[in-house]
Structure 1
Amino acid sequence: MAQKVYVVGVGMTKFEKPGRREGWDYPEMARESGTKALEDAGISYDLVEQAYVGYVYGESTSGQRAVYELGMTGIPVVNVNNNCSTGSTALYLAAQAIRGGLADCALGLGFEKMQPGSLGSVFDDREQPMMKHIQALAEISEVRFPPAPWMFGAAGREHQEKYGTTDEQFAKIGYKNHKHSVNNPYAQFQEEYTLQDILDSREVYAPLTKLQCSPTSDGSGAAILASESFVDKHGLADRAVEIVGQAMTTDFQSTFDGTAKSIVGFDMAKQGAQRVYEQSGLGPEDFQVIELHDCFSTNELLTYEALGLCAEGEGGKLVDANETTYGGKWVVNPSGGLISKGHPLGATGFAQCAELTWQLRGAADKRQVENVTAALQHNLGLGGACVITAYQHANR
């Protein structure tokens, strides 16, 4: 019988522009986020039985080096790399260990130390993992570099051509997320812009402008996961948040059905969400707050539809009705999202987990959403993987 899984502690660093903090290497990042998560849970590192550590850019056992800042207790440490969904994949594996009865307390941790500028490949003497996706998109769209904004921008253009979505509707998502981040001390950017500022910023690949694109970032996040018996033994129920549904999907044959939205992960998100709704008994209307993978504003709009917040083609109308910000049906990316909070690849999934844990505890300060009873997380990596997680407070 599957065990219940609880998040009992979360922690993260402030996300920063790469290289901004001189001498800030990944061990220091991991020590900061991991220590905060342990302190939040009120436990010591020697109670952790397994650790799953995510990063994209790093050497083979950087995970061990990172958690050695917290202690050296001989436990299994698994290094995880799954592109932009690396952090949530590490979270998924830690939860799986608890759910399967293999551990009562597990640490999930993610970090990234990135280079400034657009993402690039490191190993150029072998097949690139996204080449199949790039080739498929090249059959229906002009090829542009760097690949990421081209791919998600092409999906936005496709949506515009099919449903009449406007540049302004996409820009409103960037406006919203930058506005939300003003109240997040962990965010890389904390500056509010006008809608015109968003539209007038440098074009990256139409309809995307710079202020609708997530930046490269340095930073780390962590979560302590525990079983029900561990929560009871250590008196953690008052701060425990239950993972009531969780699914990880990878590409389906339909990814390559000849549409840009499928190539950039729409079907992975849609099918993952359906699995989570079935597991949790919750539907889109039951969540009040959502952290989703807005690597680009176009993907946030597509994800509204993949998660079932609205019908396909209706994402623009949802934006215009202000249904995804404070006062609407959902508050999406109260943290500022990847666009404004930042996107250190291995840490992003844990930052989302931390934000939703704080929201469910009523501890999100100026970002707090009213009457939160359930929260939803979506984290995507092309190539591809998608992790969807649903949370509720343990006492509900």
Structure 2
Amino acid sequence: MYAAVRDQLRATLDEIEATGLTKHERELTSPQAAHVTTSTGEALNFCANNYLGLAGHPDVVAAASDALRNWGFGMASVRFICGTQELHKRLEAALTAFLGTQDTVLFASCFDANGGVFEVLFGEQDAVISDELNHASLIDGIRLCKASRYRYRNADLADLEAQLQAASGARRRCIVTDGVFSMDGYLAPLPGICELAERYDALVLVDDSHAVGFVGDGGRGTPEHFGVASRVDILTGTLGKALGGASGGYVSGPREVIELLRQRARPYLFSNAVAPSVAAGSLRALELVSSSDEARETLRRNTTLFRSLMTDAGFEILPGEHPITPVMFRGEDGARRAAEVADRMLAEGIYVIAFSFPVVPRGQARIRVQLSAAHTEDDVRRCVAAFVAATS
């Protein structure tokens, strides 16, 4: 049987390659950082989610190393059996205090958090209204629940209101959005979303993975940035980006929601607990995020500089203020051009990645540049110069 299946799969892979959409993985031969080494040499890294530069911060590494010695390599169990340590409870309490919620529960990843929250909270009598550009984990999590599903155009409040009206007969209604849309760097219009939620008696759930730690004055994410933290009901997020860059995710919100997730969320009940070293390292990262604005300010300066220099150089970048800065390569041959430019830049010592369908819509290929607080001004200028050289 597999011989026939193999030929079908090979035909699909050949088609992906022929259209320039193959996603090749580049091997790092160094720790994650602003400066990395690959199999082809040293490079400046402009495509990691290491927004605050904490993935290799010595204090974070030391905390993880100490936990490895003192708490072991892994839990070998799920939380309710024998997979909960003091470290897990401390991290959940620290996240709760940082986010200003009532309680928090950890998951192995934010993908798991988003995969577990909807099935528990929403059934056949309910409705989930989701932004069309939400992360794949939100889309998959919503599919797992039996609620009626409504989709509104990206950040379109008029369309959101129309979908809320269509869902008016539901027992529970929940508006679901990314805080920051990861392929575009756009921030969701949370004030308008919260206003509509209150008008139509709906909950608001925000996945703030690309914001927590560095968006907002205190780094508490898009709800803080827009001044609506008290109006957002449920937050999901990751420890794998600004908060240390390892793994793990969470759901944070009302106490009853979190208690029910502990009882019924399948990714929580049937997956091993977050490793002790990850919990300890993430806890230290959260302490660093809470204690100083310096890294956030550096990140904002780097982002502003890069966006300004790229605009002056004539590149099309999507507007915004987020360190996610997509450099666009539109049209039918955009995917191939973006991939070629990324390869040329790596040869010049700048590590960036081209994104194409199905990660982004057809005809909207891009190189998604991500700034970090670990970059220097010279690093940023070198990146811009490499773009100019690679497209000349």
TM range (shorter): under 0.3
User: TM-score, length-normalised on structure 2?
Assistant: 0.26
Larger Rg: 2
